[in-house]
């Protein structure tokens, strides 16, 4: 065993064990860690946002290069940013709708084009597979499963008509493909959660206690 001499590692270890204490039951140590975490996270986010985004992209150009490269237009986002804080004043909070409205215009436009190109067009393109590959029965079968499975899944999500007859049968096949997909997602989720625990255990056993053997 080779205990760490770094005070930061010791504090980190106690905070880790404090949060893990929740597994036994909710307790004051866990509550303390939880609230400290929320406070420090919020403080960290504000500092990063201001220093990395708001200051270099707006404040610095306005202060140092006001007339260069049409930087004076940055007065618009400055005004919009200030208007956001009108939410703290009941009589003036309608002003905060203007910057929110601006964001509500920009992001959906970005998402529409992104999803259309990346998720719709390219995915349909990726589904245009040969349904007969000479000499390769395995790939032929897999391509049929890919195309058929996709169509069955899309049919399952078509709710404008009752799922009866051929439509109902196809939707049922779609459910089976979806169940396989959910099972796969569950397996991967288990892997993810366990990995994160392994990471924490490695910190405690290696960085803090110096116990690990490989």
Partner 1 sequence: MRDFLTWLRAMDRRWIFLAVGLLVIAPLVFGFHIAPVVPSHRAKGFYDAIERLPEGSTVLVAGDYDPGTRAENYPMHLAAVRHLMRRNIKVIGVELYPAGVPIADDVLRDLGAEFGKKLGVDYVNLGYKVGNELVMSSMGTSIPKTFPVDSRGVPIAQLPLMKGIENFQQIDMIVSISAGYPGTKEWVQQVVSRFHVPMVAGVTAVSAPEYYPYLQAGQLQGLLGGMAGAAEYEVLVGKPALATRGMDAQSLAHVFIAFMIILGNVAFLGQRKPAKG
Partner 2 sequence: MKRTVPFFITLLSGLFCLIAFFVPHPWIHESYGAVQTWAIVVVGCTYVLGVANLLRVNVQQAQRREGDWIYKIVLIVGLLTTMAVGFSEGNHYSDVTSHFNWIYRTFYSPMTSTMFALLAFFIASAAFRAFRIRSPEALLLAIAAFILMLGRVPLGNAISHYIPDAADWLMEIPQNAAKRGILIGAALGVMATGIRVILGLEKAYGGGGEGGA
Alpha carbon of 72 to those of 57, 77, 86, 146: distances in Å? 12, 10, 23, 54
What's the token pair of residue 171? 């939707």
CB of 92 to partner 1, least distance (A): 25
Query: Does 111 contact partner 1 by CB under 8 A?
Result: yes
Strand, helix or coil at 63?
A: helix
**Which of 4, 29, 58, 167 touches partner 2 (CB under 8 A)?**
58
Q: Are 3 and 208 in contact (CB under 8 A)?
A: yes
CA distance 26 to 34: 11
* Contact partner, 43, from partner 2, partner 1, none, Cβ < 5-8 Å per class: partner 2
CB of 102 to partner 1, least distance (A): 12
State the Cα torsion 9-205-199-17 to the nearest 10°. -60
**Which of 39, 81, 108, 126 touches partner 1 (CB under 8 A)?**
126
* Contact partner, 24, from partner 1, partner 2, none, Cβ < 5-8 Å per class: partner 1
Q: Are 133 and 140 in contact (CB under 8 A)?
A: yes
**Which of 61, 83, 153, 170 touches partner 1 (CB under 8 A)?**
61
CA distance 179 to 185: 10
* Residues near partner 1 (CB under 8 A): 23-24, 44-45, 48-49, 51-54, 56-57, 60-61, 106-107, 110-111, 113-115, 117-119, 121-123, 125-126, 146, 181, 184-185, 188-192, 194-202, 205, 211-214
């Amino acid at each position: 065993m080779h205990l760490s001499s770094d005070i930061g590692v010791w504090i980190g270890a106690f905070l880790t064990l404090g949060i893990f204490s929740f597994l036994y039951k909710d307790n004051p140590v866990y509550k303390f860690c939880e609230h400290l975490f929320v406070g420090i996270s919020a403080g960290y986010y504000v500092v990063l946002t201001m220093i990395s985004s708001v200051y270099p992209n707006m404040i610095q150009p306005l202060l140092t290069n006001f007339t260069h490269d049409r930087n004076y237009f940055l007065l618009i986002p400055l005004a919009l940013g200030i208007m956001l804080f009108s939410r703290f004043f009941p009589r003036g909070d309608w002003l905060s709708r203007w910057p929110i409205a601006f964001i509500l215009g920009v992001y959906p436009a970005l998402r529409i084009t992104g999803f259309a190109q990346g998720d719709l067009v390219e995915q349909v393109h990726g589904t245009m597979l040969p349904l007969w590959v000479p000499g390769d029965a395995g790939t032929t079968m897999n391509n049929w499963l890919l195309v058929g499975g996709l169509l069955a899944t899309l049919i399952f999500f078509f709710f404008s008509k009752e799922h009866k007859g051929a439509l109902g049968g196809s939707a049922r096949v779609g459910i089976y493909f979806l169940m396989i997909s959910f099972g796969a997602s569950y397996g991967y989720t288990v892997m993810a959660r366990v990995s994160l625990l392994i990471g924490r255990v490695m910190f405690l056993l290696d960085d803090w206690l110096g116990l690990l053997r490989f």
